[in-house]
Amino acid sequence: VEQTLSIIKPNAVAKNAIGAILSRFEAAGLRIIAARMLHLSKEQASAFYAIHQGKPFFDELVDFMTSGPVMVQVLEGQDAIAKNRDIMGATNPAQAAPGTIRADFADSFTENAAHGSDSPETAATEIAFFFPEGVCV
Ligand code: ATP
Ligand code: MG
């Protein structure tokens, strides 16, 4: 089994969609094995998205990710990384397949409702970023 880091972004939290989104993970067979809700600081958001530093959308991304609380969870299951990204849909919601989280809950390219790790390496780094004490299973 694999683990991945998932974030329900501020726009989706604001539209009261935490439960609807978590239900989709569970319905797909992914288990929520750790979770926390927090309001990211600029420093935390910049550090989390450090790989995008210098890109044209970086400042807007950090402003958005710090605009309200986020729900962060570790999902576990067979092919959890790819499965989560399938359930989320394409990064650009205009290209997200019908029925995906981004098709249903995104407001723009930046405000695209959810984050998911993109490789085993980033999953490990991102899980440690939010759950430095480890997960409880
Ligand atoms: P995430 O890392 O949030 O799961 P992703 O891996 O699909 O999304 P990345 O390329 O890592 O996409 O971009 C990180 C985030 O930055 C995107 O989810 C989106 O919120 C924002 N973003 C990326 N590209 C653009 C863009 N061209 N214009 C506006 N925002 C963007
Ligand atoms: Mg990414």
Averaged over successive runs of 10 residues, the pLDDT of the chain (137 residues) comes to 98 98 98 98 98 97 98 98 98 98 98 98 98 86
- The ligand 1 atom at the shortest distance from the C-alpha of residue 91 is 7
Q: Which protein residue has the closest C-alpha to ligand 1 atom 9? A: 91
- DSSP calls for 44-102: HHHHHTGGGTTSTTHHHHHHHHTSS-EEEEEEEETTHHHHHHHHH--SSGGGPPTTSHH
Predicted local confidence at residue 137, as pLDDT: 67
Q: What does the pLDDT read at residue 100? A: 98
Tell me the pTM.
Answer: 0.96
Counting every residue written for the chain, the total comes to 137
Cβ of 116 below 6 Å from ligand 1: yes
Type and span of the H or E element at 42: helix 42-48
- Tell me, using a 6 A CB cutoff, whether residue 61 lines ligand 1: yes
Q: Which of 71, 61, 62 is nearest to 42 (CA)?
A: 62
pLDDT value, residue 135:
85
Mutation test of ligand 1: which of 84, 91, 108, 121 has the most ligand atoms closer than 8 Å to its C-beta?
A: 91
pLDDT of residue 39: 98
- CB 88 within 8 Å of CB 116: yes
Residue 136 has a pLDDT of 77
Ligand 1 in contact with 66 (CB < 6 A)? no
User: Is the separation of the CB atoms in 5 and 117 below 8 Å?
Assistant: yes
